[in-house]
Structure 1
């Protein structure tokens, strides 16, 4: 059958014209041979905004010419002047989730290590769209990866003091305004631990101690918090606090071994080298390649005047994890040992 053009004008004036030739299925309506027109697919809906090509030209309306040729094909015709019409794509309203996807703490933190810039941008966009505590937490974690540790630590410490933390993902709209539950207390304690570790990375032991101490008021049995608290207590020359915090030892083997290493450092600070060596050897029995444990035992060997054993442990630390903080400390100890081999 012959075709005739149907022109649909959507919106106002446009700077792009698109002609689409499409087949519309037809069905007999009148015995005399007339036809009614019935679209084969869903009705055409003009986009509110479209981007034309890669140059980002915006069109407020679309002109569509439908030619009923009856040949079953859909193709874009040439634009005026003979140039092919660039592709047309919808412009998203924002860079966050799609319309069917909710903002998500899990999504935000999934890329913190690999793409901290992207995670920070996601969190900031989330905040602009009503994000609350979890959006701020994700932003702080991204800042740690980006090197802005002090700002992140202060933010995490502040967030840990906010009651009524959300439980679940996505967070409910009332997050931060409700009384605490056991689950929200655990969540806040975890944020306090993150704050303490960030303060440690910022070389701010007093603030780290305060964040960890506050976290333990929320969740006294939290083992990671107890470990952070004990390590910082030793750094602040409060070894008895560390020993009290880590005694009795945790029941989970991996946590127990970490606690043994931290408690050994506390015993050493108190001058009780024998008890420190007992703890550190117990830890190394379970994890013989642990850098922190080998570093500590090297220090204990040095205190006992066993320089060859100290050197061997520190060299093992450098070999096992050359880019670790423990390796940096081991190199410093080895350098001092070379300068004064007999120094205790």
Structure 2
């Protein structure tokens, strides 16, 4: 699974699915994105090293620096700085920016990635990739407004890229612009109809638009494609509880914990289970 997929899944759990189920039947669930939550994702997610995406540079030093990021971002930063001092160019700048994410500074990383994308001599697809990484870093820094600007720039350069469409949908959901998020997800699914996470995010967007029946159809489509997808089961549990199916909701959340016990989805499923145990009087 790529960095982009992992980041989108975790960010969507926090920003799309919300604080989860501190509600009574008939109440509308509001998204909860507490200040400071996204930066915690830095400790949960791998660094952005997507080898299948366009690269901003080539060469052994670039490969070496990116490889260091996986295990030792501090060493990668030292290497990038020394390389930059000897003419490392865009490759050194890119590696240094990515190292900042691993060092817990996603806001500084995002700014550097945006500058690099704006001034790069690389092709449009490579620049779009870097803008996309900047958007992801802004999300990790808890700034979806800046993330929206970066990912929209990426889509200007690569308007048919379904990855970027899904990225922007997550950002729009964080901004509570669920209708626009749905539009981007529909565009992405028109190109890749079996993209599981897009169906899950579509279900969450539809739920926030009070279209619960359509949301259930979307999440069931995701589960038809991937029956053990933890994020899809988490979302179906929410929809089942909205319907009053407490037993079904619990079964989904318990399955999430079994399938991915160390994931963000499992943590939220456990919170839901605890709330369900308390019952309406304890919420």
TM range (shorter): 0.7 to 0.9
The structural deviation recorded for 1:125 is 1.0
TM-score of the two chains, using structure 1 as the length reference:
0.61
The structural deviation recorded for 1:260 is 0.9
How far apart in 1 are the matches of 2:80 and 2:120?
21
Contact 1:193/1:224 (8 A) holds in 2: no
Distance 1:335 1:160, change over 3 A: farther
State how many pairs are aligned. 224
Question: Can you list the C-alpha shifts for 1:154-174, whole angstroms capped at 9, x where unaligned?
Answer: 221222222422xxxxxxxxx
Contact 2:162/2:191 (8 A) holds in 1: no
Contact 2:90/2:120 (8 A) holds in 1: no
State the match for 1:128 in structure 2.
85
Give 1:240-319 correspondences, 5 Å limit: 240-248=179-187, 249-252=189-192, 256-319=195-258
TM-score of the two chains, using structure 2 as the length reference:
0.73
SS of corresponding position for 1:159: helix
Q: Does 1:115 align with 2:72?
A: yes
Question: Can you list the C-alpha shifts for 1:52-111, whole angstroms capped at 9, x where unaligned?
Answer: xxxxxxxxxxxxxxxxxxxxxxxxxxxxxxxxxxxxxxxxxxxxxxxxxx6532221122
Which of 146, 150, 158 is matched with 2:103 structurally? 146
How far apart in 2 are the matches of 1:204 and 1:328?
23
The structural deviation recorded for 1:279 is 0.9
State the match for 1:212 in structure 2.
151
How far apart in 1 are the matches of 2:275 and 2:119?
46
How far apart in 2 are the matches of 1:250 and 1:105?
35
Distance 1:322 1:202, change over 3 A: farther
The 10-residue stretch of structure 1 (231-240 or 324-333) with the greater mean CA deviation from structure 2: 324-333
Which of 1 and 2 has higher RCO (CA within 8 Å, sep 6+)?
Answer: 2
The runs of 5 or more residues in structure 2 that have no matched partner are 1-58
The structural deviation recorded for 1:274 is 0.9
The structural deviation recorded for 1:322 is 2.0
How far apart in 2 are the matches of 1:342 and 1:317?
25
Greater strand content: 1
The runs of 5 or more residues in structure 1 that have no matched partner are 1-101, 166-183
Question: Can you list the C-alpha shifts for 1:26-74, whole angstroms capped at 9, x where unaligned?
Answer: xxxxxxxxxxxxxxxxxxxxxxxxxxxxxxxxxxxxxxxxxxxxxxxxx
The structural deviation recorded for 1:321 is 1.6
How far apart in 1 are the matches of 2:251 and 2:114?
40
Q: Provide the alpha-carbon RMSD of the alignment.
A: 2.1
Please list every run of at least 4 consecutive aligned residues from structure 1 whose deviation after the TM superposition is greater than 4 angstroms. 341-344
Greater helix content: 2
How far apart in 1 are the matches of 2:207 and 2:152?
23
